[in-house]
Amino acid sequence: MSYSTRLDALKQRHASLDSRIQDEDHRPRPDSVALTRLKLEKLHLKEEMEKLTTRIN
């Protein structure tokens, strides 16, 4: 898998996590443990995307 293909896949997953975080956050009683887990996963994806971006450029 090329770096740009991997980066595209990570961006899609990042957007999906963002949507899931928004959904959970807007529930009447958001699950704080689930929110923390989703936000941490999103952060890890962002870090991986930044690493790949530096390799591409």
Alpha carbons 44 and 26: distance in angstroms, whole number: 23
Q: Which band of pLDDT confidence, cut at 50, 70 and 90, is reported for residue 1?
A: confident
**Contacts made by residues 47-56, CB under 8 angstroms, sequence distance 24+:** 48/10, 49/7, 49/10, 49/11, 49/14, 52/3, 52/6, 52/7, 52/10, 53/7, 55/3, 56/3, 56/4, 56/7
Q: What is the pLDDT of residues 4-48, one digit of tens each?
A: 899 999 999 999 999 999 999 999 999 999 999 999 999 999 999
pLDDT at 56 > cutoff 80: no
The residues spanned by each domain of the chain are 3-56
- Please give the model's pTM, rounded to 2 decimal places: 0.87
